[in-house]
Amino acid sequence: MHMTPRDGALDLLKWLALLSMVLDHLRYVGYSVDFLYVPGRLAFPWFCLAMAANLARARTAVTSAQWRYLGWLMVFSAISEIPYRLFIPDPDTLNVMPTLVLGLLVARGWQQPTLQSRLLAVVAVLLAVLFPERLMFGFFGVLLPLAMLLVIRRPWYFSLLPGLVCVAANQWQVLYAAARMGNGAAIFGIAACLIAPLLGLLLLRHAGRLKPPPMRRWAYALYPAHFLLLLAVRQIIA
């Protein structure tokens, strides 16, 4: 779902989301770098915001580009599962892409008043309700792209809504308990979740003149590839 002309701010948001994700996953390479948990909280909400931005720019109810977008997400959801399980020790959930797939269906079902889109959105919500423990970021993670879509063209203070959804998606009970005990990573992690949508919205609105390298379809491969790269690094330093 690429726009013409390209939106440099949107490409920058995607690159920063990717960087945040890599920083977060560096915690599993072998060194004690728990502080990277904080910038890592920016990755998922920024990917959801990028998805919402693409949907908000769509001019037609249903386009072939949107179906291709969904198709690529589903393909790389499957491809990424093996590298994800090789790198993350004893994962409790699937990789993040199934959550994004369901989130895309929910947001598009809200946006597009077609029977097909609405039925797919209902199925996505049911799956999120029935199997939240299998989805990274759970039920609230599936709702986050919709929350982003609802506020993307509203005043900046509406970003508190997706910020709260982001906190809920990040195991807020565990974060809150750790924060009450004075854990710095938990305290700043909650703050990062709350402000991530605002930071992303400000970037989209004020960084349009920047021209980072465009993220095209090849960028989907960066998700499984970064797991393999970090796995190789872990093997080398082990």
What are the residues whose beta carbons fall under 8 Å from the beta carbon of 66, sequence distance 6 or more? 1, 58, 108
- Residue 104 within a domain: yes
Residue 101's pLDDT band, with cuts at 50, 70 and 90, is very high
- Residue 46 within a domain: yes
Rg (alpha carbons) of the chain, rounded to whole number:
17
- Residue 3 within a domain: no
DSSP three-state, residue 58: coil
- Say what the pLDDT of residue 1 is: 42
How many distinct structural domains can be found in the chain?
A: 1
- Single pTM value for the model: 0.93
- Residue 80 within a domain: yes
Q: Are 162 and 46 in contact (CB under 8 A)?
A: no
Q: Which helix (H) or strand (E) holds 230?
A: helix 222-237
- Residue 148 within a domain: yes
Helix, strand and coil in the chain, % to nearest 5: 75, 0, 25
- Tens-place pLDDT, residues 23-79: 999 999 988 788 999 999 999 999 999 999 999 987 544 566 777 889 999 999 999
- Tens-place pLDDT, residues 161-188: 999 999 999 987 788 899 999 999 999 9
| Cα–Cα dist 169/146, whole Å | 13
pLDDT, averaged across the chain: 92
- Residue 2 within a domain: no
Query: Structural domain of residue 156, as residue ranges?
Result: 8-237
Tell me the angle at which helices 138-151 and 115-130 cross, rounded to the nearest 10 degrees: 140
